[in-house]
Amino acid sequence: MKLVLLGPPGAGKGTQAVKIAEKYQIPHISTGDIFRKNVKEGTPLGVEAKKYMDKGALVPDELVVALVNDRLAQEDCRGGFLLDGFPRTVFQAEELDKFLKGEGKALTAVVDLRVDEDELLERMIGRRVCRSCGAPYHVKNMPPKKEGVCDHCGGEVYQRADDTEETVKNRFLVYKEQTMPLVAYYEKAGCLLPIEGTGGPERVFGAIVEALGQ
Ligand code: AMP
């Protein structure tokens, strides 16, 4: 299966991506995670990406496209993949189409998670994540057993620099202006699967599996 996970920031893409990748045994490719890893390691890509990420802006298309093309060319993506957080612009979507076409492939489906904006804001501002293993938490809905400590690996649970209220608002604007057009793009391509993203992670996951039909 060659899948794209689409949806506004805070829609639960990361949570669903882990489940989908596990069920269908495909690599989970999160451009946000790749950038965060590079920022943490202080690589040239990380230093460049951080300038944009801290403001809630998108990293320039050329950087992201080259990164994803490299990743998709790796052996483990032959049987399929799940892209989480990519594409985020029409240009990126067109480049992805070109890349896949060059390999004689096409996307199986684009899962579009839909959540009301007020709920998204509350989800994101309360969002916390483990610095070591990336496990997601929420101050109200899903706090770690011990404050600030990951239940799974004992790592530090922190708030991403781009989950503060000001940055979150900017990320929504960026989503509306640059990423929302992808809904129409994939609708036209006939591979869009709209999924209601509320009612708990298990319900949402069930709806995704049902929509994928396998
Ligand atoms: P995410 O974890 O997917 O919300 O991504 C965090 C940040 O990484 C975004 O706000 C962007 O600054 C950057 N980023 C991740 N994926 C992309 C992408 N496909 N295009 C441009 N910037 C991206």
pLDDT in tens, the chain (214 residues): 999 999 999 899 988 999 999 999 999 999 999 999 999 999 999 999 999 998 889 999 999 999 999 999 999 999 999 999 999 999 999 999 999 999 999 999 999 999 998 889 888 889 999 999 888 899 998 999 999 999 999 999 999 888 888 888 899 999 999 999 999 999 999 999 999 999 989 999 999 999 998 7
Helix (H) or strand (E) holding 137: strand 136-138
Q: Is 75 exposed, middle or buried (0-12, 13-18, 19+ CB in 10 A)?
A: exposed
Are 105 and 2 in contact by the 8 Å Cβ rule? The answer is yes
Helices (DSSP H) in 80-191: which residue ranges?
90-102, 117-125, 165-174, 181-189
41 strand-pairing partners: none
- Residues assigned a catalytic role: 13, 88, 127, 160, 171
Four-point Cα dihedral 129, 57, 208, 124, nearest 10: 40
Residue 110 backbone dihedrals phi, psi, to 5 degrees: -120, 115
Cα(58) to centroid of ligand 1, in Å? 6
What's the whole-model pTM score? Answer: 0.89
Indicate the SS3 state at residue 175.
helix
> Which strands sit side by side in the sheet containing 157-158, from one edge to the other?
136-138, 127-130, 157-158
| Ligand 1 pocket residue status of 175, Cβ below 6 Å | no
Cα(56) to centroid of ligand 1, in Å? 8
Q: Which residue, among 59, 7, 17, 50, has the nearest Cα to 180 in the 3D structure?
A: 7
In eight-state DSSP terms, residue 142 is: B
